[in-house]
Structure 1
Amino acid sequence: MHILNFIKDILITSVSILNGASGWLVISFVIAGLLHNLITPQKFQNALGNTKITSILKSTVSGMLLPICSCGVIPIGISMYYSGAYLGPVLAFMTSTPIINPIAVVLSFGLLGPQITIIYVIAGFVVPMIVGILGNIFGKNELCVAMDDDESLIELEEEKRSLTQNILDGLKWSFSELALTISKYVIIGMLVAGFITTAFPTSIIQKYLGNPGVLSLGSISILACIMYVCAVGHIPFIAALVASGASPGVAITFLIAGAATNLPELISMYNVIGKRAVIIYSTTLTSCALIIGYITNKLLVGSSVNMDIETSKASIDIANKIMINIPDSMKYLCSFIIFVFFIKAMLPSVRKVVKNEA
Structure 2
Amino acid sequence: MTEYLFNIVRASFNLINTASAWIVISYIIAGALHDLIPVEKLHKHLGNKSFSALFKVMVSGVILPICSCGTVPLGISMYYAGAYVGPVLCFMTATPVINPIALILSYGLLGRKITIIYFIIGLTFPVFIGWIANMTSGRELFYAPAYSEDGGFRSDMREDKRSVSEKLRSGFNWMINDFALVISKYVVTGMLMAGFIMVSFPSSLIQEYLGNPSALSLINIAVLATVMYVCAVGHIPFIAALIAAGASPGSAVTFLIAGASTNIAELLSIYRMIGKRSAVIYGVLVTVCAVFLGYITNLILLPDYEPQISIDRIDYSIKSANRLMIIFPKEVQYLCTGIILIFFIIAMYYKIMTWKEMRKA
Q: TM-score, structure 1 length as denominator?
A: 0.95
- The residue aligned with 2:295 is 294
Q: CA deviation digits over 1:46-92, x for unaligned, max 9?
A: 01101111111111111111111100000100011011111111111
Q: CA deviation digits over 1:282-331, x for unaligned, max 9?
A: 11111111111001011112133302111111111111111111111111
CA distance in 2, matches of 1:120, 1:175: 38
- The residue aligned with 1:47 is 45
1:253-272 to 2 correspondences below 5 Å: 253-272=254-273
- The residue aligned with 1:151 is 154
Contact 2:248-2:298 within 8 A present in 1 as well: yes
CA distance in 1, matches of 2:299, 2:162: 58
Contact 2:213-2:251 within 8 A present in 1 as well: no
Amino acid at match of 2:23: L
Moved more, 74-83 or 35-44: 35-44
The number of aligned residues is: 354
CA distance in 1, matches of 2:17, 2:108: 26
Contact 1:35-1:80 within 8 A present in 2 as well: no
Q: CA deviation digits over 1:146-190, x for unaligned, max 9?
A: 13659323442x2x2222222232222223211011001111101
- The residue aligned with 2:276 is 275
- The residue aligned with 2:321 is 319
Moved more, 209-218 or 92-101: 209-218
Q: CA deviation digits over 1:172-229, x for unaligned, max 9?
A: 2223211011001111101111011001111121123212321431221121022111
Q: Does 2:139 align with 1:141?
A: yes
- The residue aligned with 1:343 is 345
- The residue aligned with 1:15 is 13
Quote the sequence identity (%): 51
- The residue aligned with 1:185 is 186
- The residue aligned with 1:164 is 165
Contact 2:62-2:99 within 8 A present in 1 as well: yes
SS of alignment partner, residue 213 of structure 2: coil
Moved more, 49-58 or 221-230: 221-230
Amino acid at match of 2:66: I
Amino acid at match of 1:221: A
Contact 2:39-2:157 within 8 A present in 1 as well: no
1:304 corresponds, among 289, 301, 306, to 306
1:115-264 to 2 correspondences below 5 Å: 115-147=113-145, 151-156=154-159, 158=160, 160-264=161-265
Q: CA deviation digits over 1:226-269, x for unaligned, max 9?
A: 21111111111000000000000011101110011200000000
CA distance in 1, matches of 2:294, 2:264: 22
Structure 1: unaligned runs, 5 residues or longer: none
Contact 1:113-1:307 within 8 A present in 2 as well: yes
Amino acid at match of 2:62: M
Contact 2:229-2:259 within 8 A present in 1 as well: yes
> In the superposition, relative to structure 1, how do residues 352 and 170 fare at CA in structure 2: closer, same or farther (>3 Å)?
closer
Moved more, 237-246 or 226-235: 226-235
Contact 1:215-1:246 within 8 A present in 2 as well: no
2:3 corresponds, among 2, 5, 10, to 5
SS of alignment partner, residue 246 of structure 1: coil
Moved more, 191-200 or 345-354: 345-354
Q: CA deviation digits over 1:85-107, x for unaligned, max 9?
A: 11111111111111111111111
1:88-99 to 2 correspondences below 5 Å: 88-99=86-97
Amino acid at match of 1:206: Q
> In the superposition, relative to structure 1, how do residues 215 and 307 fare at CA in structure 2: closer, same or farther (>3 Å)?
farther
Contact 1:96-1:125 within 8 A present in 2 as well: yes
CA distance in 2, matches of 1:215, 1:110: 26
